[in-house]
Chains A and B, each alone.
Chain A
Amino acid sequence: MKIGGRSPPFPDAELVRTLAALLTETGLTEIEYAVGDRRIRVARTAGGPAPLGASSAPSAAGGSIEHPGAVKAPIVGTAYLAPQPGAPPFVRLGDIVVEGQPLLIIEAMKVMNQIRAHRPGRLAQILVADAQPVEYGSVLMLIE
């Protein structure tokens, strides 16, 4: 999925430099920056800040992650992680979920569609942010 313009070439050296400078300036040990489905994390190691890796969230068209625990969007819309604004999220990282348990909502055309776990397991990854647009096949979460 491409939203909000062409994806810039990765890694974005300028961005890394800016984040590294911010780390030093603020004394933080880690900064994670995400825009849409692109995510970069910069963390301070013993020798100074170094980029740990540019992990582009794998929500590309048609489900490029063929993991059996991948929870994929069956429709196009906007993902919400809680039943309503301000409420606690449906699930948290590390939760044990059962088959059929609601994990998130995708809102399409003002209708809230609950997305349920297709199998039991541990919620290993949450790959969408609250209010993020998703397409058919976007990988939303990973159940291990």
Chain B
Amino acid sequence: MFEKVLIANRGEIALRIHRACREMGIKTVAVHSTADAAAMHVRLADETVCIGPPAARDSYLNVAAILSAATITGADAIHPGLGFLAEDADFAAAVEEHGFTFIGPSAEHIRLMGDKVAAKDAIRKLGIPTVPGSAGVHDLAAAEAAASAIGYPILIKASAGGGGRGMKVADDRSELAHMLPIAQHEAASFFGCGEVYLERHLERPRHIEIQILGDGLGGIVHLGERDCSLQRSHQKVLEESPSPALNQEQRDRLGALAVAALRELGYKGVGTLEFLYQDGEFFFIEMNTRLQVEHPVTEMISGLDIVREQLRIAAGAPLGYHQADIKLCGHAIECRINAECPNTFAPSPGRVTDYHAPGGLGVRVDSALYQGYGVPPYYDSLISKLVIHGKSRNECLMRLRRALEEYVIGGIETTIPLHQRLVTAAEFIDGDYDVHWLERFVGRPA
């Protein structure tokens, strides 16, 4: 097992990784920007190295600084967390070249799944249905031809994209002509590559994703699904497991498909296959070759520590269990709490003057907040994840309502009031929502 792991990330996920390491007796190295010098995981880490000024490109995306920090601290392995360099295949390769273990899948698999067109191709060949779509289109003529074949409405997506960013809808030919150059430009500026591809835009799908673990030695299991349909601007707001829309047969079928495909690939590490589900049909959209924000939902129903499994797998250990050993119990819901105005979603960085996190049976808070902490303005606005577990979805909802009313984050605005409205909405209580529902819901007056 590793003696020392460098955590190449920040915020609540860095704290999460620190916790998993410390429970295994592994020393931690926290690299941080100047803006994060007072972050909780930096205060708790065994060793710390400031790697740059606030801007992510000079700090959390600064490969040379991160590798240098690993060298001077004598770290054995680097955990990339999520976002930042977690799905940067070149970074994964560089880490290994410099003699450290990259805690994640191979650079080859990261690269494969990072190219969204190639990923769909590979997954389709492995027997999983994908959303009807095109390969990369480079001009309007090619786009129009592809769109006619697929059928409108069309979604234009970045080939090097992901995470719900840089997507444009076109309802007909004239909108396609209008949106294509905009989408290409955004793809180039967000992801450094202007190539786009087209997909059929499903009218009312649910977003269902499957969590898998592979040890690279032939062992692969799935840990059930998460329903992440509640999204605003393609960013997830609340996730739950199991999905209220699936029955056991569907769940088992989807899980088996995912496992078979990844066993074929020889996948090592954690990963999530994302699907759109509509009218009883599943369509693969993309695979994330990293830990995900919403992993606690799966941890609560499976009892597995996913970050611990990442560390064990990366250190060369076999899974040690089979699919039959995986027991998924109860229901779990995660609320992503952002430092934003709950109505306008304007960012609200600043000092947390009062802090009280809810507790009790089945209540988990993954957050790096503390009283007096200054939320910096330079990074994304996620500041806490409230994760509730209950024996049933109903028990979960009652507990979630209680936990939300108990949670105090003073001094800044947060989206706790939004979640409070959400958990009392009839459609949410009925589990009757799709990926467009939340946008309509927040458009309604409070």
Contact = CB atoms under 8 A, between A and B. Distances in A.
Interface residues of B, number: 22
Contact of B72 (A5, A6, A76, A137): A76
Interface in B32-47: 32, 34, 37, 45-47
Interface string B31-70: 0101001000000011111111100000100001101110
Contacts of A1: 48-50
Bin the interface of chain A by size: 20 to 34
Given A61-B37, A108-B64, A135 B69 contact: yes
Interface in B250-271: none
A77 interface: yes
B64 A5 contact: no
A68 interface: no
Contact of B48 (A61, A78, A108): A61
B71 A4 contact: no
B415 interface: no
A63 B35 CA distance: 12
Contact of B50 (A4, A5, A62, A109): A62
Contacts of B53: 136
A101 B162 CA distance: 47
A78 B72 contact: yes
A137 B34 contact: yes
B73 interface: yes
Contacts of B34: 61-63, 136-137
Which residue among A5, A6, A62, A138 has the maximum number of chain B CB atoms within 10 Å of its CB?
A62
Contacts of B48: 1-2, 61, 135
B50 A75 contact: no
A133 B45 contact: no
B2 to A, nearest CB: 17
B47 A2 contact: yes
Contacts of A138: 50
Given A136-B34, A136-B53, A75 B64 contact: yes
Interface string B7-22: 0000000000000000
Contacts of B67: 109
A88 to B, nearest CB: 25
A4 B48 CA distance: 10
A61 B73 CA distance: 15
Nearest to B32: A61
A113 B67 CA distance: 16
Nearest to A133: B72
Given A62-B34, A76-B49, A136 B73 contact: no
A135 B64 contact: no
A5 B69 contact: no
Interface in B147-164: none
A61 B50 contact: yes
B72 A136 contact: no
A6 B28 CA distance: 11
A3 interface: yes
Given A3-B73, A109-B71, A75 B65 contact: yes
A1 B53 CA distance: 15
Contacts of A62: 34, 37, 50
Contacts of B49: 1, 3, 76, 133, 135-136
Interface in B82-140: 98
Nearest to B66: A76
30 contacts: A1-B48, A1-B49, A1-B50, A3-B72, A3-B73, A6-B46, A61-B32, A61-B37, A61-B48, A61-B50, A62-B34, A76-B49, A76-B51, A76-B68, A77-B71, A77-B72, A108-B68, A109-B67, A133-B49, A133-B72, A135-B50, A135-B51, A136-B34, A136-B49, A136-B51, A136-B52, A136-B59, A136-B65, A137-B34, A138-B50
Interface of B: 32, 34, 37, 45-53, 59, 64-65, 67-69, 71-73, 98
Leading 4 A-B pairs by shortest Cβ distance = A133-B72, A62-B34, A61-B50, A76-B68
